[in-house]
Structure 1
Amino acid sequence: MQYDTQAQRQAWIEGLAQLREQGAIDADDENTLIRHMDERLDAVQQELKALVPEYEQRVAEDGREVADAWIGTRAREMGEREGADARRMVDSLTAVRNAPAM
């Protein structure tokens, strides 16, 4: 699994380098995107690990269906929060701020 994560990260970085070479983003934007992805992946992994004990407890006490509904709600909340955070980060990029109005 570690290899997959590293391979995906490397592909992400290579894609950003291509965007920079094409002039779609500048070096600051590239670094911001790499830093954001690294920080968010780590934070999400930590949050997911923290959910496991409570999920297992809910399975034991309330059954799998109830626990699955609970984890589904947590996953949606995480997704919405991560999406909003990503939108704020993207809106802060120089390429976005300096884009011509449509």
Structure 2
Amino acid sequence: MLVTVALAFVAGFMIGNGLPYYLEGSAGRGANPSPFPDSPHAAVAVGTIAIAVGATCAWLADIPARPVAGGVAFGLGWLAVGMIHAGNWTGDPWRKRARTTEP
């Protein structure tokens, strides 16, 4: 059961993390709090990879075998990354937008 809970938490975290990147990028807006360039293409790529990792973790977690524990863990992972994004999404944690170039 511990493996189910851990993998379900990671699945919720990664899918919840990848979804806003994918949606922002596919809408043509590239600004994101990742260390990668602010471009729609990079955002879609990061989002797709995160969703794929999360889906793989969800599959490995075998959530249907333990639906309550797996579902709660998935939801807590989703909530955790949502709280992180709420504080960081419009910020610049990597200072990539604050960089200046020398003439």
Q: TM-score with structure 2 length normalisation? A: 0.43
For the pair shown, the structure with the greater C-alpha radius of gyration is 1
The structure carrying a bigger helix percent of its residues is 1
